[in-house]
A and B are shown apart, each in its own frame.
Chain A
Amino acid sequence: MSEPARYNPQPPRPAWGIRPPSKKNISTDLPILTAPIPKQVVIPIQQCLGLPARPIVTPGQQVRAGEPIAVSGATGAGPKLHASISGGIHAIEERPVPGPQPTTETCVVIHGDGQDLPYNGYRGVGDPMQLEPDRLCALVAEAGIVGLGGALYSTADKLSTPHKIKALILNGAECEPYITCDEMLELEHADKVLRGARIMMRALNTSLAIIAVERDMAEDRVALNDAIEAAGDRNIHVAVVTAKYPAGGERQLIQMIMNQEVPEGGYPSDLGYVCHNVATAAAVADFFDSGRPLISRIVTLAGGGVEMTRNVEARIGTEMRELIQSTVGYSNELAQLVMGGPMMGFLLPDHTLPVTKATNCLICANPGELSPPRPEMPCIRCSQCSQVCPALILPQELLTAAARHDMGALVDLGLNACIECGCCDYVCPSHIPMTSRFIEAKRALGENQRETQNAERARKRFEKRQERLNRQNSERGQELQEQVDELAESPEQVIDAIMDRVKSKAGK
C-alpha cells in the first residue's frame, strides 16, 4: 500500500476569487419539495458530454418510468437515458433545448399515463459492495449517471480511470450564488451521499473520500459528520473550504484540500484524485438502493420572479414553466431566466424548455436583478482581474493577445488554464466581456492547433513521398550506371548478350 493521501481539512483562505452576494439563505428555509409528475416530458437525448446518443424506442411504444429510451457512445456502453415518467412515446423529434446558445436537439417526447409505473428491469442488480469495480462502472453507465454539477461528464468513465486513485473528492462546495441543491441534499440525505461515496470508492479501489463543503454550510458539515460518525466510517472525511467563488472548481478544490495543482493540460486523475459532485454520488446510491436510474434531479428555483425560493426534485424533461408554476409559482412577469448560477449559467430564450440533467438551478430574475449591459471601455490594466483569477493568469494580458490573435502568446499566458469562472468580468471596471473573449480564443486556438497538425501531417506525407521518389530515381540511376560501366569494360560481351536476346525474341 502506498502512503495514504494527506489532505487539509480546513484549507486557508485563498488569495484568488470573489465574494458575490450569496443569495442562498432563503432557498434553504424549506425542505426539498417533490414536484408533481408532469403530464408530458421532453427528454433531449444528448445528455452526456462528448458521447453521441441514439434513441432505442419508437413512437407509439409504451414505456415505464426508468425504462431506457436512448443509449450513448459508439458501442452503446455510455450512460443511458431513461423515460422519466410512464406513458407512451409521442414523438422523437427536434426540439429547442437549453444551452449556452439557443439550439435544437433530438428529443423523446413522452405523454404520461398519470400512473408513474416504475420500470422493474433494474431491481436486484446486486449488493454494490460485493460487485467488482468493472461491473459497478457498467451499472453506473446503465443507470444514466452523469456529472450533476452541470458538466454532464460520464460518471462511469471517470470511475474507470486507469490511474491509481489516492482519494475520491466529493464536491459539495456550491460556490455560485443562489444555488443550494447540493447543500439541501447534504442536509437531508447525508447518509445517501455517504452510501454513494462508498460505492464510488469501491469502483475506484481507493480507501479515502473527502467531502468538500463551504464554510457557510455549517449545518451540512454537522449532518455529514453525524452520518459519518453514526456509520463508524473512518475512510470518509469532511473538508471545509472558504465560501469564496470559485472555491467549488475542481482544480481549486484540489489546490486547497490536497495542496497540489493539476498539471497544465492534465486531469485530476494524473495526481491520483477523482472529483465527483455530491449529487452524482447520491444518484449512484439511489440506483443501487432501489433500482431507480437517473430520472430526476434537485433544482433550485430562485430569483425575485418566483413566489418562494425552494429546491424541488423534478423529473428530467419537465417543462421549466410547468415546474415553476406547479411548485413555487411566478410572482410577476418573467424578465430573465438563467439556468445555472449568475456567474457561469446561461440566459435562456424561453421558459418552455425542458429540465435536463444539467439543470441545477433556475433563476427567474426580476428586471435589475442581473447586471444591466454596460458599454465596454478600453482596458486600463488596473489588474483587478489578475488579483481574483483562480487560474493565476493575467487576464489583462490575455485580452490583448486575444485581440491580436497571437496564438503563441495565448498559450504562453495560460489560456488553457482558464476555467471560465467569470471572476475577471465580475470585477472589471471597464466591463469587458473577458470570459466570452477567452472562450472564443480557446475555440480559435483549438482550430489553429488542428490546422497546424494537419499542415504538419501533410508536410510529412509530402516529404515521405519525395524521399520515395528520390530513392526510386537513384535506384534506376544506379542500374543504368552499372550497365554503362559494364559496356565500357567489355563491350563485345555486352553486345553479344544483347544480340542473343534479340535473336531469341525473334526466334519466338
Chain B
Amino acid sequence: MMLASGSAPHWRTRDTVASMMRQVIYALLPAIVLYSIFFGIGIIINCLIATAVAVGTEIVALLLRRRPVELFIKDNSAIVTAILLAFCLPSLTPWWVTATGSFFAIAVAKHLYGGLGYNVFNPAMVGYVVLLVSFPEEMSHWTAPNVGDIDYQAPTALMTLQYVLTGALPDGMTIDAITRATPLNSIKMELGLMRTIDEIRSNPSFGEFGGRGWEMINGVIALGGFWLLYRGIIRWHTPVAMIGTLLALAFLASILDSSIHPGPFFHLFSGGTLLCAFFIATDPVSGATTDTGKLIFGAGVGALTFIFRTWGVFPDGVSFSVLLMNMAAPLIDRYTRPRVYGRIPPGH
C-alpha cells in the first residue's frame, strides 16, 4: 500500500491569485456602473476593448514564452490591468488608442519583465503614460455630466460607439461640443488665466468636493477599496499614507494661499486619487512589500501627486507618481526590513 505523499503543511488557503484579482474586479464594478451613468457608456466600451486586447496579448506572450497559457490566463491579472487602464481613459477614446495602451501594458510592462510577479512597474500606469505622451489630443476628450452647462451636450451611446470605433463623429458634430475639461484640468488652465480658485469653483460643473459626478465616482471607488481592505486583499498602509500625505500637503498649501490651491478635499475627490490609493499604489508586485515600506511608498505617491498637480505640465500626476515610486520600491524594501525574531538591532 502506498499512500499519497507531499510536504507540510497539508492545509493551505483556498485563496488564489485568481480569486484575489477577481475581488479587485468586483470592487471596481460599482464605480464602472456609476461612471457610465454620469459620463456615458464609453467606459464600458473601453473596458471591453482593453480587456480583449490585454487577454489576447497575454495569450500570445505566454505562448512565445512557453508558459502554461491556461494557468496564467485564469489568474485574471490581465483583466485587472485592462480595467484599471480603461478607468484612466476618457470616455471618447478611439479603439486603437485603448488597444495600444493595453498591448503596451501587457507586452512590454508585464511580459518583457518576466510576467506575473516580476514587473517592476505597474502595467496599467505604464500603458496609461504611454498613451498620455503619445496621444495627448485623444487623451483629452473627456465628457461631462449633464449639469447646468447649457452649451454642453453629452454624446449619446450611439455617438460614443461610432467615435470609439471610427474616430469620427456624425456629420455636423464637433468634438468640442461634446467634451469638457476635467475639474483638475479646468483648475490648471484657469489658474493659468489668473483666475482664483473661488472663481473657478463657482462654475456649476464643480460640486461640494471635486467635480460633479467625479466626486461620487471617487466615493464609490473608495467603498470598493474598503471592501478590499475588509477582505484582507490590500493593507491599509499604502492608502492611508498616500491620502494622508496628499491631504496634509494640500491643506498646508491652501492655508498659505487658498486663491491658487484648491484645498485637500478637492485633491481627494478629483482625478485618480482614490483609484490610485486603493487599486494602483496597492499593486503588490510593483509596490513595497514591508509594512513600513508601504507607508513610505504611499507617502511618496501622495507627495509626488501633489507636486505634479500643482507644478506639473499634466493636470493629474498619480500615474507618474506611481511609476517613480515603483522605481524606489526595491530600495525602500531593502531599508525597511522588520527586525527578525531574536535579533538584536545593531548598536545595542
Contact = CB atoms under 8 A, between A and B. Distances in A.
Partners in one complex: yes
Please classify the interface of chain A as helix (H, G, I), strand (E, B), loop, or mixed, using the class held by over half of its residues. Answer: loop
17 contacts: A102-B5, A261-B342, A264-B344, A342-B9, A342-B11, A343-B8, A343-B10, A365-B10, A371-B10, A377-B116, A383-B235, A386-B289, A417-B341, A422-B8, A422-B9, A430-B16, A435-B7
Contacts of A428: 12-13
A177 B5 CA distance: 19
A382 B291 CA distance: 11
Contacts of A391: 340-341
A177 B9 CA distance: 11
Contacts of B66: none
B16 A390 contact: no
B290 A380 contact: no
Contacts of A422: 8-9
Contacts of B341: 251, 255, 261-262, 264, 390-393, 414, 417
Interface string B55-91: 0000000000000100100010000000000000000
Given A381-B285, A417-B342, A343 B290 contact: no
B165 interface: no
Interface of B: 1-13, 15-17, 19-20, 68, 71, 75, 115-118, 232-233, 235, 284-285, 287, 289-291, 333, 337-344
Residue among A350, A381, A391 facing the most chain B CB atoms (10 A cut-off): A381
A370 interface: yes
Contacts of B15: 427, 429
A336 interface: yes
B340 A414 contact: yes
B337 A264 contact: no
Given A335-B4, A347-B5, A435-B7, A264 B340 contact: yes
Contacts, number: 161
Contact of B11 (A335, A374, A375, A426): A426
A330 interface: no
Contacts of A349: 2-3, 5
B11 A370 contact: yes
Interface string A374-413: 1101111111101100111110110000000000000001
A348 B6 CA distance: 9
A368 to B, nearest CB: 12
A374 B13 CA distance: 11
Please classify the interface of chain B as helix (H, G, I), strand (E, B), loop, or mixed, using the class held by over half of its residues. Answer: loop
A394 B284 CA distance: 14
Given A251-B342, A370-B11, A429 B116 contact: no
A396 B10 contact: no
Contacts of A265: 342
Interface in A349-371: 349-352, 365, 370-371
A151 to B, nearest CB: 15
Nearest to B75: A377
Contact of A346 (B8, B233, B342): B8
Contacts of B339: 392
Given A383-B235, A413-B340, 20 more contacts: A20-B11, A255-B341, A263-B344, A335-B4, A336-B10, A342-B11, A347-B4, A347-B5, A348-B3, A352-B1, A375-B71, A377-B16, A378-B118, A381-B289, A382-B20, A382-B233, A383-B291, A397-B289, A417-B340, A435-B9
B12 A347 contact: no
Given A394-B338, A413-B337, A380 B12 contact: no
A425 B12 contact: yes
A350 B73 CA distance: 38
B117 A380 contact: yes
Nearest to A385: B289
A377 B68 CA distance: 11
A37 interface: no
A426 B290 CA distance: 19
Contacts of A382: 20, 233, 284
Nearest to A343: B9
A437 B233 CA distance: 25
A436 interface: yes
B10 A380 contact: no
Contacts of B333: 397
A380 to B, nearest CB: 5
A392 B338 contact: yes
Given A261-B341, A417-B342, A378 B7 contact: no
A1 to B, nearest CB: 28
B3 A347 contact: yes
B330 to A, nearest CB: 10
Nearest to A16: B341
Given A343-B11, A347-B6, A374 B16 contact: yes
B17 A263 contact: no
A419 to B, nearest CB: 9
A425 B3 contact: no
A335 B115 CA distance: 37
Contacts of A371: 10-12
Contact of A426 (B7, B9, B71, B287): B9
Given A351-B1, A378-B117, A430 B340 contact: no
Nearest to B4: A336
A251 to B, nearest CB: 7
A124 interface: no
Given A336-B4, A377-B71, A377-B116, A425 B343 contact: no
Contacts of A397: 289, 333, 337
Interface in A211-247: none
